[in-house]
Amino acid sequence: MNWAERCRVALRYTFAFGQGHLSTFLSSLSMLGLVLAIALLIVVLSVMNGFDREMRERILSLVPHITLYSHQPMLDWEAMRQQLVAHPEVESVSPFTQFDALFMRGADIETARGIGIVADDPASELMLASLTTRQRDSFSNREDALLLGAGIARNLGVKEGETLTLIVPGGGLTGDTGATRFEALYLAGIVETGTELDQSVALLPLSTASRLAGLGPAVSGLRISTTELFGVSRIAWELINEIPVGHYTTNWMMTHGNLYAAIQLSRDLVTILLLSIIAVAAFNVVSSLVLVVFDKQDNIAILRTLGASGGDIAWIFVLQGAMIGLVGALAGSLLGALLSQAVPVLVAGLERLLDIRFLNTDVYPVSFVPVDLVMQDVLVVAGVAVVMCLLAAVYPARRAAQLAPAAVLNQDRS
């Protein structure tokens, strides 16, 4: 038999061309299991990739890669900034002042971390991305301007244009144990990053924050962005060795490294789990093809008497396994890609229908279900499924090749 004849017979056993409905049913059942397993794996991988992307591109773009602190108020931060920028792996350096504070509106009180920033600094761009031009101008031009995270504003029930009372306890970096400071601030806008920062951050102009923190013209430290996200420990060590003593650094791996590692571990474990589901679907191909061999043993015997070799028979069933794998992989990949793109819409619809939030920044790092469909993952999953189906077809193919045509025909006659 040539390859065209082998493929024709395999197609007839796999799809509904005329008779042979049992073999078609068994093949369709194997394909369905494969389609569902592949689609499920692609959807879950896309969601896990989405969390990984949001962690790297959103959260780590808002959180400084490296933070430089001083044991004393940092007065010479401009000179320090120029020295740090000279490092080849440092992208930007920006000053900041931070302090713990209470925000009060009527009888409602919320705690937050006050952070003083320079509005036109590139490092602040992503924090202010959700603001309108008017809100940005108001924040830049008013010394008493305030930007609240969306979670804090929601808890206080405040809106843009209202006035809040800021309470800063005495003490802090300077060791000053003086009186608690009160300040009336104008809410210039509400910052909504969709991350956990919405629940904890309040932004003020740098000069106002330094005054409220009791630092005068000094700042709390410098926020450093680097080109090597996973080399922050090494870069921080190099930077600290280039500046005078009395300074220390922290980096994102200290504050968010466990979260990132947990996301990676969850992705790996889920991948292993769902690949095992594909393996079960491939095992179903074995049982289906064995039943097909049993159902088609008279056809196999006739083919052998017409001159087909054992190798021809074996290739027919290997081709059938390959067809099941290819069709299942293609349909599963397409279904998985479509479902993964529909996940955010489906989740948002369920949230509106049930009036609940599946993800909240009080608990989770983001407030939505992110999706990132990576073509490499689709190709790997589809390729693994096809290979498993080919391997699963080997045993039924060998069994079919070993059938004795005389015994089968004699059994049918009797």
**Could you please report the per-residue DSSP string of 204-241?**
EEHHHHHHHTT-TT-EEEEEEEES-GGGHHHHHHHHHT
Domain that holds residue 42: 3-58+259-413
SS3 state of residue 154: helix
Contact, 44 vs 291, CB < 8 A?
A: no
In a domain, 247, yes or no: no
Checking if the pLDDT of 196 tops 50, the result is yes
- Domain final residue, candidates 207, 226, 245: 226
For residues 220-249, give the mean pLDDT.
86
Task: Give the pLDDT confidence score for residue 73 in this predicted structure.
Answer: 83
Checking if the pLDDT of 372 tops 90, the result is no
Task: Give the pLDDT confidence score for residue 360 in this predicted structure.
Answer: 64
Task: Give the pLDDT confidence score for residue 334 in this predicted structure.
Answer: 93
For residues 163-168, give the mean pLDDT.
86
Checking if the pLDDT of 18 tops 50, the result is no
Q: How confident is the model at residue 188 (pLDDT cuts 50, 70, 90)?
A: confident
Most confident of the ranges 164-178, 190-204, 350-364 = 190-204
Mean pLDDT of the chain: 79
In a domain, 233, yes or no: no
Of 28-42, 55-69, 75-89, least confident by mean pLDDT is 55-69
Residue 145 and residue 265 in one domain: no
Using alpha carbons, select from 251, 281, 232, 288 the residue that is nearest to residue 385.
Answer: 281
In angstroms, the CA 271 to CA 376 distance is 14
Task: Give the pLDDT confidence score for residue 52 in this predicted structure.
Answer: 79
Residue 263 and residue 406 in one domain: yes
Tokens of 123: 């490092």
Write the CB contacts of 126 (distance below 8 Å, at least 6 apart in sequence).
Answer: 61, 62, 193
Label residue 329 exposed, middle or buried (CB < 10 Å: 0-12, 13-18, 19+). Answer: buried
The better pLDDT of the pair 211, 298 is held by 211
Residue 267 and residue 396 in one domain: yes
In a domain, 246, yes or no: no
Task: Give the pLDDT confidence score for residue 338 in this predicted structure.
Answer: 92
Of 236-245, 325-334, 358-367, least confident by mean pLDDT is 358-367
Checking if the pLDDT of 274 tops 90, the result is no
Residue 48 and residue 109 in one domain: no
- Tokens 């599963």 locate to 332
Task: Give the pLDDT confidence score for residue 157 in this predicted structure.
Answer: 85
In a domain, 248, yes or no: no
Inter-axis angle of helices 3-14 and 310-354, nearest 10? 40
In angstroms, the CA 122 to CA 81 distance is 14
Residue 364 and residue 274 in one domain: yes
Using alpha carbons, select from 291, 332, 318 the residue that is nearest to residue 392.
Answer: 318
Percent of the chain with pLDDT over 70: 85
Q: In this structure, are strands 181-191 and 145-149 parallel, antiparallel, or unpaired?
A: parallel
Q: Which secondary-structure segment (H or E) carries 95?
A: strand 90-105
The total domain count for the chain is 2
Task: Give the pLDDT confidence score for residue 76 in this predicted structure.
Answer: 83
- Tokens 């369709």 locate to 28
- Count Cβ neighbours within 10 Å for each residue of 331-341 and write b for 16 or more, e otherwise: bbbebbbebbe
Task: Give the pLDDT confidence score for residue 27 in this predicted structure.
Answer: 73
In a domain, 67, yes or no: no
User: What digits encode the pLDDT tens for the residues 96-134?
Assistant: 888 888 888 877 888 888 888 887 776 677 677 767 778
Dihedrals φ, ψ of 148, to 5°? -105, 145
Residue 409 and residue 277 in one domain: yes
Q: How confident is the model at residue 22 (pLDDT cuts 50, 70, 90)?
A: low
Label residue 167 exposed, middle or buried (CB < 10 Å: 0-12, 13-18, 19+). Answer: middle
